Structure 1
């Protein structure tokens, strides 16, 4: 036979357990209610989601947006600049990611199409998207090469000459199939959307190729 004191202690213990359970369930219900309200606000567009951000490759720097130069007027081509013969487009293939083999893979495709590959190498920076960098004298060459890719960033820099650099980023797009390249020798090139005259752009400083002195910046390009 149990004593009245024991029964009272058991009742008190159960009461405290019920109180703790009520607090825990109350907090959980309140949390779920807040989450539901937040989700509804994101869904309705009242607030923007903190997760609505582009995925970034680890180690790849966020890329600056550059103004794109318009095609120059070319003497003897009154309807617009025509594509340059591929053999006259001199390209350096530069790996701008931690992946290996990208320069060699691009060389195989572009060389087969007739582009002149000057060299392969690396640059001491990492990019997410590929870029073609060129000077004012190489604008038509850059547009000609860019037409072989689904998308391509065009960046004017302060180099001289007509040679151009293809900086291959971590999220590179491979070249289009040759039959999908929208180029014809007798059809003028089309200006990039929202292009501006080249003389209104402050050229970027040319990115130098990595050397052995750059340590970890040098990566196999083949």
Structure 2
């Protein structure tokens, strides 16, 4: 009986330590993401990236809206958030993004990890998700937009190693969307293959 009690006590200690470590990791990632703590490797984007091989799509014309497409209601933007900082990157950074974007009203479909590692954050989306991607991009100072061949309007946020934190909510533009520099019509862009695997349910 005494031996069994000691085993239960050891198990309780081990589980308690694991829970505490997970809590610290999650809080640390959220603190880094929201700016309360600086990550030593987190650098901002440069205004232009000479290594960027991707061309953003232009916004579709909208009949009856001469100023162009307007941002979607945040609840109409369905987002998969993936940690692309690599195995030695920021643990929990995808979940930290989820917390911020969910609080702002975005529809978060899933949170997970992405391989290979990316140096820069980017949004991936299909032709049906162009306006949704532009709407989500407004939350960040700079964001790379990459089209793929998916047929729905979902948007994947891949959080790269040199991620930018979101803008303060009151600094996010609510006016008509504007085309990104160097954009081309969607029909002229070579698209990446559509995602074939569901994002893992952790990150």
* TM-score normalised over the length of structure 1: 0.64
Aligned residue runs from structure 1 range 135-146, under 5 A: 135-146=126-137
Task: State yes or no: 1:117 paired with 2:108.
Answer: yes
> Unpaired segments of 5 or more residues in structure 1?
1-54, 212-217
**8 Å contact from structure 1 (residues 122, 209) kept in 2:** no
Aligned residue runs from structure 1 range 96-175, under 5 A: 96-98=84-86, 99-175=90-166
Task: State yes or no: 1:198 paired with 2:186.
Answer: yes
Going from structure 1 to structure 2, the CA distance change for 1:128 and 1:210 (only over 3 Å counts) comes to farther
Going from structure 1 to structure 2, the CA distance change for 1:80 and 1:219 (only over 3 Å counts) comes to closer
Going from structure 1 to structure 2, the CA distance change for 1:176 and 1:77 (only over 3 Å counts) comes to same
Alpha-carbon deviations, 1:102-138, whole Å to 9, x = none? 1110011100100000000112210010000010110
Shift of 1:208: 4.7
1:71 corresponds in structure 2 to 59
Shift of 1:188: 1.4
The 3-state SS of whatever aligns with 1:179 is helix
1:90 corresponds in structure 2 to 78
TM-align CA RMSD: 2.4
Aligned residues: 154
Shift of 1:79: 2.2
Going from structure 1 to structure 2, the CA distance change for 1:124 and 1:199 (only over 3 Å counts) comes to same
Higher relative contact order (CA 8 A, sep 6+): 2
Shift of 1:100: 1.1
Matches of 1:193 and 1:83, distance apart in 2: 18
Matches of 1:152 and 1:207, distance apart in 2: 20
* TM-score normalised over the length of structure 2: 0.70
Going from structure 1 to structure 2, the CA distance change for 1:126 and 1:209 (only over 3 Å counts) comes to farther
**8 Å contact from structure 2 (residues 110, 201) kept in 1:** no
